[in-house]
């Protein structure tokens, strides 16, 4: 008879405390650190050093639906900011999705943070280790660890478990023009493509090859081969400095005014060379062609 009563009471009777609700933070009491508690989402301030740049709305909505069904499975990490406030260290996607889902309380791991540098370090390292960032966000994270936390490659390697060469390769991505960095974030090109582009010193040549990668669907190996060829050509055909030749500078300046765009003169050591007239849209290309055609017609007449 007694056993039936126990079974009738379910899991809570068999395992006392198994179904107890997680403790909630009493905001008016001194809260210990190193524990997991449920805290109100409206008492959590955003992380000013959040390394994530991109937050996909569709992905957030999908996570919010999952949280509605299953709750927040992995706690976020926070530190106490004041008597009744907390500041986020990691888990902003989970926090945002919980707010979308209408959740009032979220499980949080509360830790101590003693300085701004430590907050930056914890935020970046946690996200980098979880591999939830895109390559440019990771690169910016490593750069901040170097610049703002004064960490060496060796120290970052030990803290993140990443090889020093891997860290260097990520940071090198930041040398590329913004438009190419955004292309990496959008997954239009891979970090492998980007690293090959870094080997091309001329920005205009980088951008030209980047456009071909997207339009022609070049593989990483094809881009590496083209980059090597371009580098070899530039070494074989050194350009002559025009800074000390005012006559040539004047010609280039006149052409820029005539075409209303940037014009470059590449002069080789043997006296040969080429003019480059840059355009940035189809309409601009057609405008420049009209100028050239009119100039040719006037010459014939």
d(CA 63, CA 101): 9
CB neighbours of residue 63 within 10 Å: 19
How open is the CA angle 138-139-143, to the nearest 5 degrees?
115
d(CA 278, CA 273): 16
Q: Are 51 and 141 in contact (CB under 8 A)?
A: yes
| DSSP conformation class of 213 | H
d(CA 294, CA 286): 12
CB neighbour list of residue 76: distance below 8 Å, 6 or more residues apart: 44, 88, 89, 90, 91, 92, 94, 95, 106, 107, 108, 109
Q: Which of 20, 22, 30, 92 is catalytic?
A: 92
188 in active site? no
In total, the chain counts a number of residues equal to 301
CB neighbours of residue 181 within 10 Å: 19
Q: Are 238 and 231 in contact (CB under 8 A)?
A: no
Strands 86-90 vs 44-45: parallel, antiparallel or unpaired? parallel
Q: Which residues are designated catalytic? A: 92
């Amino acid at each position: 008879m007694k056993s039936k009563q126990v079974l009738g009471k379910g899991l809570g009777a068999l395992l006392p405390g198994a179904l107890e609700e997680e403790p909630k933070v009493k905001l008016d009491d001194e809260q210990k650190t190193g524990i997991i508690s449920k805290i109100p989402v409206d008492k959590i301030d955003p992380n000013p050093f959040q390394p994530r740049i991109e937050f996909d709305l569709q992905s957030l909505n999908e996570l919010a639906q999952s949280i509605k069904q299953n709750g927040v499975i992995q706690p976020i990490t926070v530190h106490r900011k004041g008597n009744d406030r907390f500041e986020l260290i990691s888990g902003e996607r989970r926090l945002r999705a919980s707010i979308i889902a209408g959740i009032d309380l979220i499980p949080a791991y509360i830790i101590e943070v003693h300085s701004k540098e430590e907050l930056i370090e914890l935020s970046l390292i946690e996200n980098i280790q979880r591999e939830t960032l895109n390559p440019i966000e990771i690169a910016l994270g490593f750069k901040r660890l170097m610049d703002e936390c004064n960490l060496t490659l060796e120290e970052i390697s030990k803290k993140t478990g990443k090889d020093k060469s891997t860290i260097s390769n990520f940071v090198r991505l930041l040398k590329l023009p913004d438009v190419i960095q955004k292309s990496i974030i959008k997954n239009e090109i891979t970090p492998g493509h980007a690293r090959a582009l870094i080997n091309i010193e001329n920005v205009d040549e980088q951008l030209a090859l980047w456009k071909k990668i997207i339009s022609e669907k070049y593989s990483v190996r094809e881009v590496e081969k083209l980059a090597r060829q371009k580098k070899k050509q530039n070494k074989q055909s050194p350009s002559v400095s025009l800074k000390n030749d005012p006559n040539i500078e004047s010609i280039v300046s006149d052409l820029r005014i005539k075409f209303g765009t940037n014009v470059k003169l590449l002069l080789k050591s043997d006296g040969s060379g080429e003019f480059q007239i840059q355009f940035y849209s189809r309409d601009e290309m057609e405008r420049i062609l009209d100028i050239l055609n009119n100039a040719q017609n006037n010459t014939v007449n």
